[in-house]
């Protein structure tokens, strides 16, 4: 896959594509499920006003609700993933768009459910659970609903909000289409002098080039494209943030942050602890950027110098098959059952491997409760791509264990816990590679790579978290997020995080405009907390062995059966305290110390 021209979907070998047909071998079945959800949603109104009649009626209503959402989820996941194969295909654009209407209808039809539950006397509701054994499974869910009582509106108001959901999600869809289907970055001459198109998938590879001219050209092409669209993107993000703020106010939260954290029952202190601890440790990051400047031998460090490895090793393409073998070795501490399940998934077609024209950029793990836990990649044969496979496999294995153990209602994951599962895998792989490495130059390379994982996950995502806090607080004050204000705030944060070693740059101020996660408010901080928790858990697995592995696998089986903070305690980590973040910062300092001593 070293071709410099991006292939079309039909040019990719079938064995490198996910087995999405396993969801719907015949797309007519997709239509049947779509129509079934529509019909079941219409019929669900029969439970309105009846939830307090008996334990049996309440159980029926819960079970029918689960049935509707389980089928709706499958319908949506298929349409979304087919669109992601090639965002330019109008057929699947249309299917994905239809799903927004479907989900809005399903939400609207059930919008009475939670308000009606809350209208029931608490003693009667809990009495039903004791009376009907099959209702016991819903006890945690009911208690969670009661916890949120102050933020649930009347039936009529909930119905209005449910119907509006199709509109309020528009900004995310607008940005997705602009970012994946419409925006073009042009071409640059690569290190061989060949003209190559700049794409999302190739961008980081260009920034890792040892040819500084290539890095700068790719950086300039990327951000010049966003600069040209900056007013449109700023307006889109402004209204996205306004939607968050208005939604939080309607539901009587004191802030958008409180609203976003509420579903996981996370206290605001957890968010602020992350920012505070990382800010206190910025001097170590600044020491690293000074070291980067020195080792690159540049008078001024620029943002296009941030990703290039500081230690040059002979270029070696890592084939996809080799990457899978490396993953198997690195994850062997997780035991034979984990590896057997993982290998079976690979053989069955979980993974869509290579970039093609129109394919959604980046990587993810996705699926429905009763589908494979699919993985989208844009694999480009770098060692870093091996870490991406391992990361997404962590998500998919988490899903596989959970769906086998938990009922549908608890079969998903909070991002707060999901990012732990992915990052434990990355950490184990890194420790494996460092442990077996005997070449001093390669060890320096791996140390640098590990430091970069901390920079790009813990530090970078925390910087994003600060940016989100600034933007939402500004809108809460009544300010408008203009393009200039957004760029100024982002540029100031970038300077704070990178320190004096980083020179001024005309383009980095536009970087916020290319971050899709900003359209899902207060999401990115979970990458940083997850990285901190995963660092602690992987150390336990490597040093405590079977007991730690057992506890970790038990954690993987829990899904959403309790609040994230409580679930992580099963694996031996308490994220309600700053301690895991402080321990991660200690590890980061040790890595920088060792790296500096070796170079």
Q: How many CB atoms lie within 10 A of CB 67?
A: 15
| One-character DSSP codes across 111-162 | TTHHHHHHHS-HHHHHHHHHH-GGGGGGHHHHHHHHHTGGG---HHHHHHHH
First to last CA, the chain: 34
Q: How many CB atoms lie within 10 A of CB 451?
A: 21
CA 34/CA 69 separation, integer angstroms: 11
CA 116/CA 100 separation, integer angstroms: 25
Active site residue 392: yes
CA 476/CA 368 separation, integer angstroms: 35
Regarding beta strands 364-366 and 374-376, do their DSSP bridges make them parallel or antiparallel, or are they unpaired?
A: antiparallel
Best CA proximity match to 381, nearest among 319, 433, 315, 330: 319
Listing from the earlier edge strand, what are the strands of the sheet with 351-352? 351-352, 374-376, 364-366
Sequence-ordered list of residues with C-beta below 8 angstroms from that of 5, at least 6 positions apart, any chain: 197
85, 392, 491, 511: the catalytic one is 392
The token duo for 547 is: 């007991």
Q: How many CB atoms lie within 10 A of CB 582?
A: 15
Best CA proximity match to 355, nearest among 5, 3, 6: 6
On whether the CB atoms of residues 123 and 151 are closer than 8 A, the answer is no
The token duo for 231 is: 């007013």
The values of phi and psi at residue 410, to 5°, are -115, 20
Best CA proximity match to 240, nearest among 416, 478, 475: 475
Sequence-ordered list of residues with C-beta below 8 angstroms from that of 562, at least 6 positions apart, any chain: 140
Handedness of CA 343, 344, 345, 346 (dihedral sign): positive
The b/e string for 117-149 (b: 16+ C-beta within 10 A; e otherwise) is: beebeeeebbebbeeeeebebbeeebeebeeee
Q: How many CB atoms lie within 10 A of CB 252?
A: 11
CA distances from 177 to 90, 184, 361, 368 (A): 12, 12, 12, 23
Helix (H) or strand (E) holding 429: helix 415-436
Catalytic amino acids? 392
């Amino acid at each position: 896959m070293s071709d410099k021209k991006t292939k079309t979907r039909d040019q990719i070998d079938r064995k490198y594509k996910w087995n999405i047909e396993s969801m719907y071998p015949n797309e007519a079945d997709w239509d049947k499920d779509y129509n079934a959800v529509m019909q079941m949603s219409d019929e669900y109104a029969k439970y309105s006003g009846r939830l307090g009649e008996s334990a049996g009626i309440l159980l029926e209503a819960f079970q029918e609700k689960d049935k509707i959402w389980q089928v709706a989820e499958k319908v949506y996941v298929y349409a979304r993933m087919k669109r992601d194969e090639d965002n330019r295909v109008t057929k699947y654009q249309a299917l994905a768009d239809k799903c927004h209407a479907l989900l809005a209808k399903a939400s609207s039809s059930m919008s009475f459910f939670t308000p009606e539950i809350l209208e029931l006397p608490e003693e009667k509701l809990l009495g039903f659970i004791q009376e009907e054994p099959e209702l016991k499974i819903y006890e945690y869910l009911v208690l969670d609903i009661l916890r949120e009582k102050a933020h649930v509106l009347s039936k009529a108001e909930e119905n209005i909000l449910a119907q509006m959901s199709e509109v309020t999600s528009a900004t995310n869809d607008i940005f997705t289409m602009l970012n994946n289907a419409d925006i073009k970055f042009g071409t640059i001459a690569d290190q061989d002098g060949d003209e190559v198109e700049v794409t999302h998938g190739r961008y980081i590879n260009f920034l890792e080039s040892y040819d500084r001219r290539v890095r700068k050209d790719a950086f300039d092409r990327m951000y010049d494209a966003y600069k040209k669209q900056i007013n449109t993107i700023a307006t889109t993000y402004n209204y996205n943030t306004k939607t968050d703020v208005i939604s939080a106010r309607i539901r009587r939260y004191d802030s958008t942050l409180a609203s976003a954290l509420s579903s996981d029952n996370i206290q605001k202190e957890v968010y602020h602890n992350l920012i505070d601890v990382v800010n206190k440790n910025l001097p170590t990051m600044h020491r690293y950027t000074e070291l980067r400047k020195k080792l690159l031998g540049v008078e001024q460090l620029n943002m296009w110098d941030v990703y290039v490895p500081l230690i040059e090793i002979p270029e070696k393409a890592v084939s996809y098959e080799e990457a899978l073998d490396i993953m198997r070795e690195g994850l062997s501490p997780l035991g034979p059952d984990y590896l057997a399940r993982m290998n079976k998934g690979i053989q069955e077609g979980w993974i869509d491997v290579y970039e093609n024209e129109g394919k959604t950029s980046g990587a993810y793990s996705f699926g429905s409760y009763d589908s494979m836990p699919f993985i989208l990649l844009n694999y480009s044969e770098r060692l870093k791509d091996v870490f991406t496979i391992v990361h997404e496999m962590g998500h998919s294995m988490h899903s596989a264990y959970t769906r086998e153990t938990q009922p549908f209602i608890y079969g998903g994951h909070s991002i707060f816990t999901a990012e732990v599962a992915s990052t434990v895998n990355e950490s184990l792989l890194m420790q494996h590679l460092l442990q077996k490495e005997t070449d001093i130059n390669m060890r320096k390379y791996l140390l640098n790579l590990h430091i970069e994982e901390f920079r790009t996950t813990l530090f970078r995502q925390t910087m994003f978290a600060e940016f989100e806090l600034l933007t939402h607080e500004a809108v809460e004050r009544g300010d408008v997020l203009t393009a200039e204000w957004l760029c100024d705030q982002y540029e100031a944060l970038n300077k704070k995080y990178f320190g004096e070693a980083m020179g001024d740059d005309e383009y980095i101020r536009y970087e916020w405009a290319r971050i899709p996660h900003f359209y899902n408010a207060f999401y990115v901080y979970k990458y940083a907390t997850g990285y901190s928790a995963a660092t602690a858990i992987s150390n336990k697995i490597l040093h405590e062995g079977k007991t730690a592995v057992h506890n970790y696998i038990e954690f993987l089986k829990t899904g959403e059966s309790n609040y994230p903070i409580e679930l992580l305690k099963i694996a031996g980590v308490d994220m309600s305290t700053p301690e895991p973040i402080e321990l991660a910062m200690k590890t980061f300092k040790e890595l920088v110390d060792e790296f500096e001593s070796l170079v």
